[in-house]
Amino acid sequence: MNFDFRFEDIESGIERLSRDLKALKDTYENARDFTSIYLQCCEKHGISLTSIGKKTDLISACKGWPFGFKNNVFADEEENGCPAIWKVCEEMKLGEGGGNTGQHQASCARLVDGVYKLKNGTWLKIE
């Protein structure tokens, strides 16, 4: 067996994985920060329960949703007769495509998927 080659191959793999892991951790940290800003914007527009890229029975707009959940955000609240989630997407510059009542297609790459609920002034990831 060519041990020198195997050692070098495994060591370079470990280095690559270490770089990939650091990059993923950095991306996740940035996504958590941006998600926090998104949730603050939701609160500003009267939203207390929102889903980012996930199906949940807690939001009526998700129930019976016939399409995929990836790259969609959901919330039931309205603001001045318009779905509040549309205003959040517009303000955060997340909108991609159209929306329906309580739903908007969104660029979710910088957000952490999940269902979030505002409780006693704090956002909690509940699903």
Q: What is the pLDDT of residue 108?
A: 95
Predicted pLDDT at 44: 98
The conformation of residue 53, written as its DSSP 8-state character, comes to S
Gap between the Cα atoms of 48 and 10, Å rounded = 48
pLDDT digits (tens, 9 = 90+) for 57-94: 999 999 989 999 999 999 999 999 999 999 999 999 99
What one-character-per-residue DSSP string does 74-111 give? E---EETTEEHHHHHHHHHT-EEEEEETTEEEE--TTS
Residue 33 pLDDT = 98
Please write the tens of the pLDDT for every residue from 51-67. 999 999 999 999 989 99
> Does the pLDDT at position 24 exceed 90?
yes
Residues in the chain: 127
- Maximal CA-CA distance, the chain: 73
Mean model confidence pLDDT for the chain? 96
Query: Which residues, other chains included, contact 76 with Cβ-Cβ below 8 Å and sequence gap of 6+?
Result: 49, 59, 60, 61, 102
